Amino acid sequence: MSQEQQPGTEPFRRFRRAVEEGFTRTHRAEDYADQLGYTPRTLTRATRAAAGCGAKRYIDDRVLLEAKRLLVHTTLSPTAISERIGFTYATVFSAFFRRRMNMTPTQFRSLSQSRRDAGTGDWPPG
């Protein structure tokens, strides 16, 4: 296994930092690759070795985590959340969220509040 593919290699560490700093601006692996001077394939290999998923999935997971956090812990509208996490259109955010969570952002928030009010300890899902 080359150094590029080993968990915690420099390409992955740099990518992880770049995603934390930039996931609200871009969700494209190609943009991070360009910014860091790697090919998308290099980032995908390094990310797969370190995190068990490709670069795009890693970015999407971070975006989804932030969306869920904002839905559970703020009163921001789904439209405001979509803007905050880098979606140009709320409908694209809603489709992304629905595809990943099998429910709309509004349904997720309602379910979160219901479970919190009921004292269910297995929240949030996913």
> Tens of pLDDT along 72-109?
999 999 999 999 999 999 999 999 999 999 999 999 99
Each residue of 45-76: pLDDT tens digit? 999 999 999 999 999 999 999 999 999 999 99
DSSP class of residue 27 equals -
Q: Tell me if residue 35 falls in helix, strand or coil.
A: helix
Tell me the whole-structure pTM to 2 decimals.
0.85
Residue whose tokens read 């509208």: 77
Crossing angle between the packed helical segments 55-73 and 10-22, to the nearest 10 degrees:
40
What pLDDT, on the 0 to 100 scale, is given for residue 5?
A: 43
Spans of all domains in the chain: 3-118
CA distances from 20 to 8, 14, 60, 111 (A): 16, 10, 12, 27
Higher pLDDT, 8 or 100: 100
Q: Which CATH superfamily is domain 3-118 in?
A: Homeodomain-like (1.10.10.60)
pLDDT over 70 at 125, yes or no: no
